A and B are shown apart, each in its own frame.
Chain A
Amino acid sequence: MKEILSLEQVSYSYPTDDDEVVKAIDGVSLSVKDGEWIAIVGHNGSGKSTMAKLIIGLLFPQDGVVNVFNEQLTNENLWDIRSRLGIVFQNPDNQFVGSTVQDDVAFALENNGIPFEEMVKRVHESLKQVKMSEFLDHEPHHLSGGQKQRVAIAGALALRPNLLIMDEATSMLDPQGRDEVIRIVQELKQRTGLTVISITHDLEEALLADRIFVMNKGKILQTGTPDEVFKHGEQLESIGLDMPFALRVSELLRKNGLSLEGEHMTEEELVNELWTSHFKM
């Protein structure tokens, strides 16, 4: 499979007044393949947001190389690369540029000089993909946070990107908005095979990913499928992350002296396990 993104021994530290330099990203290497859903998880301050900035060229690493679409990210190809990826940021309000939903979706298209007729087509198409078609003329302050984030996703999709980056895109939303956004991305992923990198501290969201990178103190602490990563539950908790509900309950059940076979990621699996091991007579 084609590689979409790779980081090779990347380090970055923010300039500070103090002499003591703390590396926000410390020798990180990773590779993302076409069509994968990647979750980069970590608590606030673990370096995961810096990672997003390095991938989209808002920052350049002091050491190492960032390759996007098999090209090393430089000042020269920055704009070209950006036109092939979409990013959704954390604060729904501060990335809504247009005065109405359709204007906002069109913003990146305008910047890239797409002709008018094509823009209209793509705006409608993208809004349909995020189920916001009826909101064409709505103004941002009449939308919920979840709706604004869906518009932001549509704005990214309009450019027909090869990669969608979600930089804590659900962390300011209420549970309903969060579910809306995750469901939309999930559907998109299934239908179009879009590559998604989701930066989050929500492990329930990470559970949906193909692979998880756990970040701590600027380094990658763990990599693997959700099953592999959550095997080390205690370690995740020790760096300030929460385990998924079913795993937390499993652990508590074991503490209460109940034996369980294997690890169970979802509630359904756990109920079934309880049934087979302890209640099926």
Chain B
Amino acid sequence: MLEKMIFGRYIPGDSFIHKLDPRSKLLFVLFFVVAVFLANNVATYGLLLAFTLFVIFISRIRLYFLLNGLKPILILIIFTFLMHIIFTKEGTLLVDLKIIKIYEEGLRQGIFISIRFLVLVLMTSILTLTTSPISITDGMEDLLNPFKRFKLPVHELALMMSISLRFIPTLMDETDKILKAQLARGSDISTGSIKQRIRAVIPLLVPLFVSAFKRAEELAIAMEVRGYRGGEGRTRYRQLTWGSRDTISMVLLVMLIGALYLLKG
């Protein structure tokens, strides 16, 4: 189940979207998220949906993988849709099944909310699927740089984030190994009462913590020995370059927001 989850994972590629600077992608998603709330009628929601599909198309990520990977979230969206249909009792009555009455307003709102939810999830997924986590971190560090003036430890946050990202696969492997080792010793995590199951997690968590602390300690030593003394006087190896692609995407964003503004009711 978990290994099929696609949310937050990165698929390398060389599409237009893949090649964008992480800063432009981050800005784009940020403003897109806000712009989504401008939509309030068929035309604007239609535009949002069409635009999202267009982005998926040029990202060259297969829709099947995307939907398959987002299954748990899709279930949530369908659930929200049903809630709206059942509980909104405004507008004309469309279908009357005695127990459940579906009203026009309920259907309308259900569809709108679902589209809003869907485009938000799809757009953020496209961001993470086409941008390596480390690029996202770089982009964020750069965008947040002005806030250094307000004592925001931007460099430290970015370093923490990049190290966490770097260790996620290592720790996932480790979790899997420890889980397998305890299963082999007859531990049973998938059956029994809730209390039993919680107790069965201890043999997994303790070794995981012990190892994470050991890693952290060794990593800190390795960093220190390699001359790490905080952000002061440090140069940067990872450089970001803003290209014409990025300007194009910003222009597109402005056009989209303009269109949404004009079309909204």
Interface of A toward B, CB cutoff 8 Å: 56, 58, 79, 82-83, 87, 89, 91, 93-100, 102-103, 106-116, 119-120, 123, 139-141, 155, 159
B223 touching A114, Cβ below 8 Å = no
Query: What A residues does B229 contact at CB under 8 A?
Result: 79, 111
Q: Does B163 contact A (CB under 8 A)?
A: yes
New contact pairs (5) apart from A94-B218, A120-B237, CB-CB < 8 Å: A56-B225, A89-B222, A94-B215, A97-B219, A139-B166
Q: A interface, by DSSP: helix, strand, loop or mixed?
A: helix
A114 touching B134, Cβ below 8 Å = no
With A94-B218, A95-B222 in contact, do A115 and B170 touch (Cβ < 8 Å)? no
The interface bits of chain B over 205-249 (1 if a CB of A lies within 8 angstroms of the residue's CB, else 0) are 000000000110011011111111100011111110000000000
Chain A: CB-nearest residue to B163: A97
Q: Tally of A-B residue pairs with Cβ under 8 A?
A: 86
Can you show 12 pairs from A to B with CB atoms below 8 A apart? A56-B225, A79-B229, A82-B226, A89-B218, A107-B226, A109-B237, A110-B235, A110-B237, A111-B227, A116-B235, A119-B235, A140-B166
A140 touching B225, Cβ below 8 Å = no
The interface bits of chain B over 159-174 (1 if a CB of A lies within 8 angstroms of the residue's CB, else 0) are 0001101100110010
A79 touching B218, Cβ below 8 Å = no
Chain A: CB-nearest residue to B12: A137
Q: B interface, by DSSP: helix, strand, loop or mixed?
A: helix
A140 touching B235, Cβ below 8 Å = no
Interface residues on B, range: 20 to 34
Which of A83, A89, A99 lies in contact with B134, CB distance below 8 A? A99
Which of B218, B227, B235 lies in contact with A82, CB distance below 8 A? B227
Query: What B residues does A109 contact at CB under 8 A?
Result: 235, 237
Query: What B residues does A56 contact at CB under 8 A?
Result: 225
B238 touching A97, Cβ below 8 Å = no
Query: What B residues does A111 contact at CB under 8 A?
Result: 226-229, 234
Query: What B residues does A96 contact at CB under 8 A?
Result: 166
- The smallest beta-carbon distance between A58 and chain B, in angstroms, is 6
Query: What A residues does B133 contact at CB under 8 A?
Result: 99
